[in-house]
Structure 1
Amino acid sequence: MEREHQTMTKSFEDLSNEDVYSQHANLTIHIANQLLLPQRRTFVVDDRNKQIMRFLLYYFNDCPLAEEVFPDKHYKLHKNLLICGDVGTGKTLLMQIFSEYLKYTDNPNHFHNLSVTQMVNYYTIHNNLDRYTYNEESSVGFQIKPVNICLNDIGIESKVHFGMDTKVLTNEFLHARNEVWVHYRKHGHLTTNLSVAQLKEEFADSFGRLVDRFKTYNVIAMTGESRR
């Protein structure tokens, strides 16, 4: 398993040590404030996101304590992330924060953020989604090099965009990323304004395969009013 191999070759810091955890938590808040600086805003940690932040810090550092933060949710370290919530609740910002944090700490679970519009634009130019799925363009021999990705706001752009049906492309992305996850343990995280029930309806296929694959995600709900 790729993630298991990464864990063996990369020594994660022990976030079960509360002092170490605090150092990493403070780093994420610093990064968040840097990202919000152009908007003259500061990042707020409150009851709506505090435990989610804790879960994500444990999760991305392969700390088993992640599975204990929300015991009734049965979240697992090996699963992808699916973050749901209304517009402005901070889903995309949260993934931007953790992408920068993981890059800064040289964490093998680092992922790249991708918008649906960016994905469609790439397809318009290249007529494929390879860079964001199997990444064969970077392969050596027959060894493909998929990377961890977070596709943001799926379901929002389900329309014809630049002549492309975004629902079809998103479906293609989800199917390919599931295969990448199964065989290479590279993650394809998602954010969306839709509920899980709405996602299943929006992206249901004739065989029900995609609907079933949403079971491979830790579904995290971000609640409350817009922070914008």
Structure 2
Amino acid sequence: MNYTQTFKPKNVIELIYKYGNDIVPGFYLNDIDVKVYDRVYRYFFKDQYFESLQPSYRLNKGLLVLGNVGVGKSVMLQVFYDVLKHYNRLYSNIPKLKYFSSELDKATEHFQSFEIYKANDLSGLYSKSGYEIIEQHTVKSYMRQNGINNKDYPLSICYDDLGAEEQYSSHYGCKVNVLKEILLKRYDLFMAKNMRTIITTNLSSEQIQSYYGERVLSRLREMVNVVKYPGFDRRK
């Protein structure tokens, strides 16, 4: 099987519109959207051209999508989540790939999947379950094989709408800035295990520093590729 044939841009564009319309009826991409989607597409599908777009861009890093409220950041990440899930289903249903991990690795080396969590939800989950939530997103954030974490395969996770959550959450009197703890620990795991983190936010660099501290801002600069999504609130 020629794996690269599956990843023709035309196929991906068709899927972007398919899943985009599932999320937002009447979904369309204007000229600004196309430029942003093209950049993010090249990232998720591991196109080496992505690294030529900015001196700091690297495919082994995560992704930080910055933009105003309502420009379409969350929709875009959900669309790419669905597109990549489509390809995962495609390969997992091929018997040869399903049972031979080396073949599956060869097929999936062309793209990187991820999970999505609302930043606001994590604050609430910490209040209920405590530090276990932070561990699930850091030291336990690996693909599972035969019921155990495979530390050769760290999970890429998207934290959607960073900054919308309560700054501090409390579990039995222990107050924690949950996303700050997660991002700092995922930075360590990025350095050690190449664990990628994806973020969408309306916050500026100054606001990120105010919410999470200078250490988080400094580490984000090292662990993510920054993509700016121009535009104004489409919901108005």
TM range (shorter): 0.7 to 0.9
Are 1:22 and 2:27 counterparts?
Answer: no
Q: CA deviation at 1:142?
A: 8.8
Structure 1 letter corresponding to 2:159: L
Q: List per-residue Cα deviations over 1:178-213 (Å, max 9, x = no partner).
A: 122222222111111111232123221xxx432221
Structure 1 residues 219 and 86, CA gap change in structure 2 (3 angstroms): same
- Residue range with higher mean Cα deviation, 125-134 or 76-85: 125-134
Are 1:132 and 2:120 counterparts?
Answer: no
Structure 1 letter corresponding to 2:205: V
Q: CA deviation at 1:44?
A: 1.6
SS at match of 1:66: helix
**What TM-score does the superposition give when structure 2 sets the normalisation length?**
0.76
Alignment of 1:9-48 (within 5 A): 13=4, 20-36=8-24, 41-48=25-32
- Residue range with higher mean Cα deviation, 131-140 or 170-179: 131-140
- Runs of 5+ unmatched residues, structure 2: 89-107
Q: CA deviation at 1:82?
A: 0.5
Q: For 1:48 and 1:136, locate their aligned partners in 2 and report how far apart those are by CA, in whole Å.
A: 34
Q: How many residues matched?
A: 206
**What TM-score does the superposition give when structure 1 sets the normalisation length?**
0.78
Q: For 2:77 and 2:199, locate their aligned partners in 1 and report how far apart those are by CA, in whole Å.
A: 9
- Residue range with higher mean Cα deviation, 134-143 or 120-129: 134-143
Structure 1 residues 62 and 154, CA gap change in structure 2 (3 angstroms): same
SS at match of 2:57: coil
Percentage of matched positions with identical amino acids: 22
Q: 2:85 aligns with which of 103, 106, 114?
A: 103
Q: For 1:96 and 1:221, locate their aligned partners in 2 and report how far apart those are by CA, in whole Å.
A: 17
* Corresponding residue of 1:212: 218
Q: CA deviation at 1:14?
A: 6.2
Q: CA deviation at 1:50?
A: 0.6
Q: Which has the higher strand share?
A: 2
* Corresponding residue of 1:116: 119
Q: List per-residue Cα deviations over 1:134-153 (Å, max 9, x = no partner).
A: 22796738958641100011
Q: For 2:189 and 2:34, locate their aligned partners in 1 and report how far apart those are by CA, in whole Å.
A: 31
Q: 1:199 aligns with which of 190, 208, 215?
A: 208
Q: CA deviation at 1:112?
A: 0.8
* Corresponding residue of 1:157: 165
Structure 1 runs of 4+ aligned residues shifted over 6 Å read 162-167
Q: For 1:189 and 1:183, locate their aligned partners in 2 and report how far apart those are by CA, in whole Å.
A: 17
SS at match of 1:156: coil
**Root mean square deviation, CA, Å:** 2.9
* Corresponding residue of 1:225: 232
Q: CA deviation at 1:60?
A: 0.9
Q: For 2:30 and 2:230, locate their aligned partners in 1 and report how far apart those are by CA, in whole Å.
A: 12
Structure 1 letter corresponding to 2:44: F
Structure 1 residues 123 and 181, CA gap change in structure 2 (3 angstroms): same
Q: 1:78 aligns with which of 35, 56, 60?
A: 60
Q: CA deviation at 1:162?
A: 6.8
